[in-house]
Amino acid sequence: MRLRILLVVSMATLFVATALSAKTFPLTAGQSVPAASGKIETGKDKNGNIEVTVKTEHLAKPGMLTPAATVYVVWFKEQGGEPTNEGQYKVENSLKGEFKTTTRLQNFEVFITAETDPTTKVPSDQVVLKANVQV
């Protein structure tokens, strides 16, 4: 019985600690997708890494942009650093999307660009959404 109580208290403490460390940051839409909206949700995993979830709505498929692109790419950039390609951002037919990853960064910019190559090392100038994250 004591073990069960200890387990319940431990789980409740973990849940509250996780909820308190979670933060949300709004994404700002670029000129090419003015109807797009979204947010970035952050939290910490058991190793102290930052869990990052990007969620969007009303984001046009990259082929519908002018100029047209083939993919969206998520980038992280620390102040004074170079941007890093975190992966491809996929948009569903409902014009919604979601992307999850982890990072060790604490204060950084997140932005999504329209690209012709998902493995590009340098972001294009076609930024569709962006936000500054401080955890």
* Tens digits of residue pLDDT in 45-95: 999 999 999 999 999 999 999 999 999 999 999 999 999 999 999 999 999
Q: Is the pLDDT of residue 14 over 70?
A: no
In a domain? residue 66: yes
Tell me what pLDDT residue 17 has: 47
Q: Give the C-alpha distances (Å, rounded to integers) separating 89 from 14, 51, 102, 114.
A: 30, 16, 15, 10
Q: What predicted TM-score, i.e. pTM, was given to this entire model? A: 0.84
Domain extent, residue 64, equals 22-134
In a domain? residue 30: yes
Tell me what pLDDT residue 74 has: 98
In a domain? residue 14: no
> What is the tally of structural domains in the chain?
1
In a domain? residue 123: yes
pLDDT digits (tens, 9 = 90+) for 15-58: 544 444 699 999 999 999 999 999 999 999 999 999 999 999 99
Q: Residues with Cβ < 8 Å from 33, sequence gap 6 or more?
A: 58, 59, 60, 65, 128, 129
